[in-house]
């Protein structure tokens, strides 16, 4: 009885600490914004719009806004009315620029006076100019983009948070930070992108992120999984067909290239594409034209092509199973996603992300994994990668009747055998993998506090720092002394 009570008390303490850390992190991550307007109704309404996502300061005049800026608070954006009593928005903006030219200013006005949009852009260089009669979503999106730009330019840009918030990818490892940075850099361009990685590593998420952050974001993203589909079906899905062009063609069909005109086409598992379809795809890339099955004429299409595969396409080219000319036309920029076992330091964050998201969307109370269950998740090899981890977390949340998921329940679901863990590669590889697992588990249990983890492992803090660096672990900005 006493042992059971102690276990429950420890779990309760662990759960409360986890919740407090999440709440603290959320508060620390909220950016500050300043709303300036001499109409109290506008101030109150905008405060209601932004208060959930930002720490909002308000000013009812230009002079009051300038005093707020002088306080030195790191403001992600200033939403500034133009027509105000006393000092107007233009004069206020000039004064603010002299104090801190880095702060983005968004003019938000019902009447810009005698100035045109072009004059405002030229003379005052705001981040954007939004009219009060436009849809609220326009201002919300502008503020979001301004804050993001400010954070990146001021060196505060957190790729970890940006990746999670913007495109649902979670990770703090060096390999994933490289992926996030490449997505940020390549998305606004027209470069073709080849996404490599094992099944379940998140290749489609990368493609969706690139499209969402590209200039083509307002146009469709068309996705085709080429995995083991017959050639005639692939051709019909890509290019469409006319009614009566072949047996079974009872209606006209719009192909993905025509549907996505002006947008993006993502070809997943392109290594499984048959040679005939490869030839027709190459023609579209080279000429910008495609022909529906049964159509006499070609039509022009403008698409950006992204593709992904878990195959080694270079080897397939050598084996004459993939066209060399198509390979080089598609290659463009390469993004390589690592298997989950090579980024174990990301597993604790992935567990929390999938658990919180699933419990919220399913309308069930938040489940908490016991520390030993989280240790198991870090130990496990995850042959199905991130997709398998996600499915496991969701299944355990659904199957576990209590608020706590035990190691026994996780072991039973995964049919886990610890003997099979870390048994591949050379002796040195296995020792290195075991060290990484031990350190990641200790850091996760201690909320990434280096000193606390070192005490638990009974090693010197400086030695633990050295091990983290030597093993190539990146535990992010959350790591404390």
CATH number at residue 423: 1.10.8.60
347 located within any domain: yes
Is pLDDT larger for residue 64 or for residue 86?
Answer: 64
Query: Of the ranges 20-24, 275-279, 390-394, 460-464, which one carries the lowest mean pLDDT score?
Result: 20-24
Is residue 88 within 8 A of residue 38, CB to CB? The reply is no
Residues 6+ apart with CB under 8 A from 189: none
What SS3 state is found at 78?
A: strand
Of 288, 320, 336, which residue is a domain's last?
A: 336
Is pLDDT larger for residue 83 or for residue 121?
Answer: 83
Give the DSSP letter string of 267-329. Answer: EETGGG--HHHHHHHHHHHHHSEE--BT-SS-EE---EEEEEESS-HHHHHHTTSS-HHHHHH
Same domain, 268 and 378: no
pLDDT of residue 115: 62
* pLDDT classification of 479: cutoffs 50, 70, 90: very low
pLDDT of residue 13: 62
pLDDT, average across residues 341-362:
93
d(CA 225, CA 455): 49
d(CA 113, CA 64): 22
Short-list 312, 317, 337, 339, CA closest to 329: 317
The structure's pTM equals 0.63
The strand pair at 368-369 and 404-405 is best described as: parallel
Mean pLDDT: which of 337-341, 368-372, 429-433 is highest?
A: 337-341
Same domain, 463 and 423: yes
d(CA 26, CA 24): 5
pLDDT of residue 435: 83
pLDDT, average across residues 26-42:
83
Give the DSSP letter string of 336-375. Answer: EPPPGGG-GGGHHHHHHHHHHHHHHHHT-PPPEE-HHHHH
d(CA 194, CA 433): 29
d(CA 335, CA 337): 7
79 located within any domain: yes
Same domain, 65 and 110: yes
d(CA 172, CA 179): 11
Domain of residue 93, CATH code: 3.40.50.2300
159 located within any domain: no
Instruction: For 303-319, write each residue's pLDDT tens digit.
Output: 999 999 999 999 999 99
pLDDT, average across residues 296-300:
89
Domain of residue 310, CATH code: 3.40.50.300
158 located within any domain: no
What SS3 state is found at 200?
A: coil
Same domain, 418 and 283: no
pLDDT of residue 127: 81
Same domain, 446 and 387: yes
pLDDT of residue 27: 47
Of 153, 175, 199, which residue is a domain's last?
A: 153
pLDDT of residue 429: 77
Is pLDDT larger for residue 3 or for residue 29?
Answer: 29
Number of domains in the chain: 4
Is residue 129 within 8 A of residue 117, CB to CB? The reply is yes
What SS3 state is found at 472?
A: coil
pLDDT of residue 353: 94
pLDDT of residue 477: 45
d(CA 295, CA 113): 55
Same domain, 354 and 323: no
197 located within any domain: yes
* Residue 250 reports pLDDT greater than 80: no
* pLDDT classification of 395: cutoffs 50, 70, 90: very high
* pLDDT classification of 101: cutoffs 50, 70, 90: confident
Cα separation of the two ends of the chain: 38
210 located within any domain: yes
Short-list 47, 48, 55, 49, CA closest to 30: 55
pLDDT, average across residues 83-99:
91
pLDDT, average across residues 320-337:
94
Of 100, 128, 153, which residue is a domain's last?
A: 153
* Residue 398 reports pLDDT greater than 80: yes
* Residue 11 reports pLDDT greater than 70: no
Instruction: For 149-181, write each residue's pLDDT tens digit.
Output: 777 666 555 677 888 888 889 998 889 989 998
297 located within any domain: yes
d(CA 480, CA 26): 17
Same domain, 252 and 272: yes
pLDDT, average across residues 418-430:
61
* Residue 125 reports pLDDT greater than 80: no
β-partners of residue 449 are: 480
Average pLDDT, the chain: 85
| Host domain of residue 449 | 341-478
* Residue 207 reports pLDDT greater than 80: yes
pLDDT, average across residues 449-478:
78
Same domain, 115 and 253: no
Same domain, 308 and 182: yes
Name the one residue in this structure whose structure tokens are 């080279």: 286
* pLDDT classification of 9: cutoffs 50, 70, 90: low
Is residue 2 within 8 A of residue 43, CB to CB? The reply is no
pLDDT of residue 389: 96
Same domain, 211 and 274: yes
Same domain, 178 and 325: yes
Instruction: For 102-117, write each residue's pLDDT tens digit.
Output: 899 999 988 766 666 6
Same domain, 345 and 464: yes
Query: Would you call 319 exposed, middle or buried from its count of C-beta atoms within 10 A (0-12, 13-18, 19+)?
Result: exposed
Q: pLDDT over 70 for what percent of the chain?
A: 87
CB atoms within 10 A of CB 345: 27
pLDDT of residue 420: 47
107 located within any domain: yes
């Amino acid at each position: 009885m006493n042992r059971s009570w102690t276990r429950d008390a420890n779990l309760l303490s662990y759960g409360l600490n986890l919740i407090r850390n999440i709440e603290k992190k959320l508060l620390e991550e909220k950016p500050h914004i300043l709303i300036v307007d001499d109409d109290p109704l506008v101030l109150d309404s905008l405060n209601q719009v932004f208060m959930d996502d930002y720490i909002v300061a308000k000013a009812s005049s230009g002079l009051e806004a300038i005093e707020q800026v002088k306080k030195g608070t790191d403001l992600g954006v200033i939403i500034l009315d133009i027509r105000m009593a006393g000092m107007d928005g233009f004069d206020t903006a000039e004064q603010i620029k002299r104090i801190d030219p880095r702060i983005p200013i968004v003019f938000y006005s019902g009447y810009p006076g005698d100035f045109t949009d072009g004059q405002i852009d030229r003379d005052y260089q705001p981040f954007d100019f939004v009219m009060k009669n436009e849809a609220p979503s326009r201002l919300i999106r502008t503020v979001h983009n301004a804050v993001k730009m400010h954070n990146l330019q001021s060196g505060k840009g957190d790729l970890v948070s940006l990746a999670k918030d913007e495109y649902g990818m979670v990770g703090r490892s060096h390999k994933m930070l490289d992926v996030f940075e490449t997505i940020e850099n390549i998305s606004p361009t027209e470069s073709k992108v080849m996404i490599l990685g094992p099944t379940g590593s998140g290749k489609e998420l990368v493609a969706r992120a690139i499209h969402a952050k590209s200039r083509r974001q307002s146009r469709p993203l068309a996705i085709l999984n080429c995995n083991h589909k017959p050639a005639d079906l692939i051709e019909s899905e890509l290019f469409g067909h006319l009614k009566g062009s072949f047996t079974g063609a009872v209606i006209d069909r719009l192909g993905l290239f025509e549907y996505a005109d002006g947008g993006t086409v993502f070809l997943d598992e392109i290594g499984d594409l048959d040679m005939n379809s490869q030839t027709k795809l190459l023609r579209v890339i080279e000429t910008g034209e495609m022909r529906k099955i049964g159509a006499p004429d070609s039509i022009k299409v403008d698409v950006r092509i992204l593709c992904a595969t878990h195959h080694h396409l270079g080897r397939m080219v050598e084996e004459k199973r993939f066209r060399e000319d198509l390979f080089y036309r598609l290659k463009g920029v390469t993004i390589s996603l690592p298997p989950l076992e090579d980024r174990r330091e990301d597993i604790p964050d992935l567990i929390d992300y999938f658990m919180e998201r699933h419990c919220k969307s399913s309308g069930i109370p938040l489940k908490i994994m016991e520390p030993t269950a989280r240790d198991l998740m870090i130990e496990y090899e995850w042959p199905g990668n991130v997709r398998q981890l996600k499915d496991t977390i969701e299944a355990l949340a659904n199957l576990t009747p209590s608020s706590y998921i035990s190691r026994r329940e996780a072991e039973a679901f995964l049919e886990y055998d610890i003997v099979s863990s870390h048994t591949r590669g050379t002796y040195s590889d296995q020792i290195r993998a075991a060290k990484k697992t031990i350190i990641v588990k200790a850091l996760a249990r201690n909320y990434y506090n280096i000193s606390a983890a070192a005490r638990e492992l009974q090693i010197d803090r400086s030695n633990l720092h050295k091990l983290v660096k030597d093993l190539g672990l990146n535990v992010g900005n959350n790591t404390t002394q």
